Amino acid sequence: MATFDPTTPNDPAAVAIAVAPNGGRRGKADHPALPLTPDELAAAAAGCLEAGACMIHIHVRDKHGGHLLDADAYRAATAAIRATVGDRLVIQITSESLGVYSPAEQMEVVRQARPEAVSIALRELLPDESHETGFAQFLEWLRSERIVPQIILYTPEEAALLAALTARGLIPFVHLPVLFVLGRYAAEQRATPSDLLAFLAPGIPRFAHWSVCAFGPREPACVTAGALFGGHVRVGFENNLWLPDGSLASDNAALVAASSAALRASGLTVADADRLRRMWSAW
């Protein structure tokens, strides 16, 4: 497994495209090509790799299709993806609770699954000051196990909180990858590129490796704007089902291909998995 050295900053010469192909809320009724099983995730991974993705962000489901945090399920999905694409994609699991799991349960499944990378919502694992010690210990465990954490930030205030925690010595990483989320799970929620400006405003902390994801049909415009400002991108059915022309995407690979084409048309280079690992100082 690749490993992570948190002392090396971002490679500004290439943009990493991550795909979030399913999330924890949508199902086949939302789109028949939304992958739920390990085999479906593996097939989606292969298509997205071909389209330009270098990382896949996965959720797993229970037998009824509901959101699940389970180490065995993550191992099965990871094995299926690895059997299909090898190491050509970074595999990132989610620790998202969806209101079902406690911070302790979220951290425990990561300890059991031992993934290459994991996304962590700051507001979920650190809902208040009483969780600071446990959160810091968990991050230290990730660092010692060479597991890449990506901190999900929904607001500039959360970015400021993460910077404050770092200043207090509670974050054992020098360069911690973050994901800026534009929009929310809500009816008619449509993020726009201008939503990114709040995260890039004067006085807001800067992060060496940051990515953008966006809810709604303007996802391609939002992530392209992020890349032009020096960030990386995440696209996929978790947040959006629509292509730039307003048509329904046939699958996740179509969304990846659209973003890859937009980035290349803007003069940017698209990173592969090895390059992303080098950004994170992996071997």
Return d(Cα 202, Cα 262) in angstroms, integer.
27
The tokens describing 201, both together, are: 């405003």
**pLDDT for res 188:** 60
pLDDT of residue 146: 94
Structure confidence by residue, pLDDT tens digits, 106-165? 999 999 999 999 999 999 999 999 999 999 999 999 999 999 999 999 999 999 999 999
What is the pLDDT, as a whole number, of residue 189?
67
The predicted model gives 177-181 an average pLDDT of: 97
pLDDT at 6 over 50: no
| CATH number, span 17-279 | 3.20.20.70
Q: How confident is the model at residue 280 (pLDDT cuts 50, 70, 90)?
A: confident
Q: How far is the C-alpha of 199 from the C-alpha of 187, rounded, in Å?
A: 23
**pLDDT, position 1:** 40
| Mean pLDDT, rounded, for 64-79 | 97
pLDDT tens for residues 25-58? 999 999 999 999 999 999 999 999 999 999 999 9
- Residue 7 pLDDT grade (very low, low, confident, very high; cuts 50, 70, 90): very low
DSSP-derived secondary structure letter, 270: B
Q: What is the DSSP letter of 174?
A: S
pTM: 0.93
State how far the alpha carbon of 67 is from the alpha carbons of 71, 234, 271, in Å.
13, 20, 30
Q: What is the pLDDT of residue 12?
A: 52
Task: Determine the pLDDT at residue 175.
Answer: 85
Predicted local distance difference test score (pLDDT) of residue 239? 95
Distance CA 66, CA 44 (A): 19
pLDDT digits (tens, 9 = 90+) for 204-226: 999 999 999 999 999 999 999 99
